[in-house]
Structure 1
Amino acid sequence: MLDTLTIRRVGTDEASACVDALADVLIDCVEGGASVSFMWPLSRDKAQAFWRNVAEGVARGERALLIAEDEAGAIQGTVQLVLAQPENQPHRADIAKMLVHRRARRHGVAQRLMAAIEDEARAEGKTVLVLDTVTGGDAERLYTRAGWQRVGVVPNYALMPDGAFCGTTFFCKQLTPSARAA
């Protein structure tokens, strides 16, 4: 799957067209137990509303949306770069909703999405990235391997989709500016 995977930034018009496919990925992740702001069961309407809101953020230039597509054009994963930050933090961005459908896991999709979103951040002139993830989960190991610095853990920060409490680990990464952004 990794050889035929395409990672790309979705434009303003296309973001709205991807809502249904992105809702499928989100629903699958929540059903699989991922703590990504939603509880199970996650209705299709709620998942679609979330992605419509993301598409509106893309249209306003507040977010960059990346997707990972297989050779048939099916979305296997996604990640966002939240560009809209306070006035005193123009150099910073948040990484949000790094999601990979369960059928595509363990094939390097998340690793490729993270490398691509870091490139997008550099192109946008961002030099400090932050994200959070479930403490002890697979994503925590992924971020550590990718050179992210663990900042700290907040116990009982969120709920798992089944209602159990989970800790959240916060990470940051310092980027060197790209020649394009400089």
Structure 2
Amino acid sequence: MALTFEVDPAFDRPVRDGIVTLWADVSNAGGAVGFVPPVSEEDVRPELLKHQVALTEGRTRLVVGYDEEGRVAATAFLTFNTHRLMRHWLWAYTVMVHPRHQGKGYGRDLMAVVADAARATEGIEAIRLTCRGGTGADRFYAACGYKEVGRVPGAIRVAEGDDRDDICMLLPLG
């Protein structure tokens, strides 16, 4: 069964707790979403608080995918640029699909909803995101229509002696 997506859901306790659980589960399965395992839900909460502040201030939008049991199974945060010369594109952050739902096309579904939400936002012409090299995420995003537009070699240190490229990708919405 497909995920059900919602753009800009109420950021209530079930959504917050669901995102924290998702984020920890994805991180602990090796997902490149800002942490290196092992990660606890308490490690994740301060990072979610940063997203919550941006949501409250209207600087960020949220896309959530729910599984058939109503659990948070996917997310993406869309953050607006505040620089006056870059307001025509936004960032996609913390793009995740729960490990139990991966390989079913839900990631592509999530990215399609993200693109639709961005297109429906006045003045937005493109989406940028970054991903960690060596994970295959760049191939996934390329399959969703994103193009690599930049790479910083060794910018992400996941462990001593394990530096990864920071890959910047762009999806024009025109």
Give the TM-score, by structure 1 length: 0.86
Q: Is 1:47 aligned with 2:59? A: no
What residue is the counterpart of 2:163 in the other structure? 165
Contact 1:63 1:84 in 2 (8 A): no
Partner of 2:96: 99
Cα deviation 1:112-139 (Å, max 9, x = unaligned):
1111111111111210221111224232
Q: Report the equivalent of 1:129.
A: 127
> Over residues 83-123 of structure 1, what are the superposed CA-to-partner deviations in whole Å (9 max), with x where a residue is unaligned?
14312211110111111111110011110111111111111
From 9, 33, 38, the equivalent of 1:36 is 33
Note the aligned Cα RMSD (angstroms): 1.7
* Contact 1:157–1:166 (8 Å) recurs in 2: yes
Q: Deviations over 1:144-165 (max 9, x none)?
A: 11111111322211133x5532
Q: Whole-Å Cα distance in 2 between the matches of residues 58 and 25 of structure 1?
A: 18
Change (3 A) 1:105 1:62: same
Deviates more, 1:14-23 or 1:71-80: 14-23
CA distance in structure 1 between the aligned counterparts of 2:43 and 2:135, rounded to whole angstroms? 25
Secondary structure (helix, strand or coil) at the match of 1:103 reads: helix
Q: Which residue of structure 2 lines up, in the alignment, with residue 179 of structure 1?
A: none
CA contact (8 A) 1:28 1:102 kept: yes
In structure 1, how many angstroms separate the alpha carbons of the residues matched to 2:81 and 2:130?
17
Equivalent pair of 1:152/1:171 in contact (CA under 8 Å): yes
1:9 aligns with 2:7: yes
In the alignment, does 2:62 pair up with 1:65? yes
Identity of aligned residues (%): 23
Contact in 2 for aligned 1:7/1:69 (Cα 8 Å): yes
Q: Check conservation: 1:6, 1:68, Cα contact below 8 A.
A: yes
**Structure 2 equivalent of residue 175 of structure 1:** 173
Tell me, which stretches of 5 or more residues in structure 2 are unaligned? none
